[in-house]
Amino acid sequence: AIQLTQSPSSLSASVGDRVTITCRASQGISSALAWYQQKPGKAPKLLIYDASSLESGVPSRFSGSGSGTDFTLTISSLQPEDFATYYCQQFNSYPHFFGQGTRLEIK
Amino acid sequence: QLQLQESGSGLVKPSQTLSLTCAVSGGSISSGGYSWSWIRQPPGKGLEWIGYIYHSGSTYYNPSLKSRVTISVDRSKNQFSLKLSSVTAADTAVYYCARGVQGVLDYWGQGTLVTVSS
């Protein structure tokens, strides 16, 4: 099974900061990666699919890049509502495991 | 707008079978090209992929749960279900259902907490 490792596990940042979260796959997955945002007590929300495609309705300050084994999620200018936990998920091959999550906190 | 809603027992005794249903509204579960997934999240922990069923009826399960999991579809009721047998305290979690498009989970239910306790 393909394992996903996110880094960092947690991150403190300020409103207006540029933030990057990394997801590394244990083997190549082409561009079959999605990013989700989860706020406390809520279901995850799809942000990015196919590594770099922005889901409809998601602000353009979110962007994704990468292919193969290394991927990044970037938030260009943090807003107060962006403080949450972010997960990557691969869908190149079964099973479709998630990364362990990155908790983004207010500095 | 597609909506998914989980329902089922919130308390299950150890060794028994957890049963949950996900009702789909605003769209047909029989529409081609979609998979119907279950994901869970133990308290304070990350997301764990449980498995999914394709519109064709094919199923794919997390290898670590495969011997205990069954996902099925009831097209007449526009819903799909999860059964997890021989539960222990480690199965205590919020359980989510979701729709997948080529594996991407675009619509999620709100989640339901299932506690395993005697």
Q: Considering only alpha carbons, which residue of chain A is nearest residue B46?
A: A100
Q: Region B59-86: what's the mean pLDDT? A: 97
* pLDDT tens-digit readout, A2-29: 999 999 999 999 999 999 999 999 999 9
Contact B46 A36 (CB under 8 A): no
Residues of B in contact with A103 (CB under 8 A): none
Report the distance separating Cα A52 and Cα A66, nearest Å. Answer: 8
CB A31: neighbour CB atoms within 10 A?
Answer: 16
Q: Region A94-105: what's the mean pLDDT? A: 96
Contact A46 B51 (CB under 8 A): no
In the predicted structure, residue B55 carries a pLDDT above the cut 90: no
Question: Do β-strands B11-12 and B112-116 pair in parallel, antiparallel, or remain unpaired?
Answer: parallel
Nearest by Cα to B96 from A65, A5, A38:
A38
* Length reported for chain B: 118
The residues near B34 (Cβ < 8 Å, ≥ 6 apart) are B54, B55, B99, B100, B101
Q: Which of residues 28-87 of A touch B (CB under 8 A)?
A: 32, 34, 36, 38, 42-46, 49-50, 55, 87
**Which of A34, A42, A94 comes nearest B104 by C-beta?**
A34
* pLDDT tens-digit readout, B77-114: 999 999 999 999 999 999 999 999 999 999 999 999 99
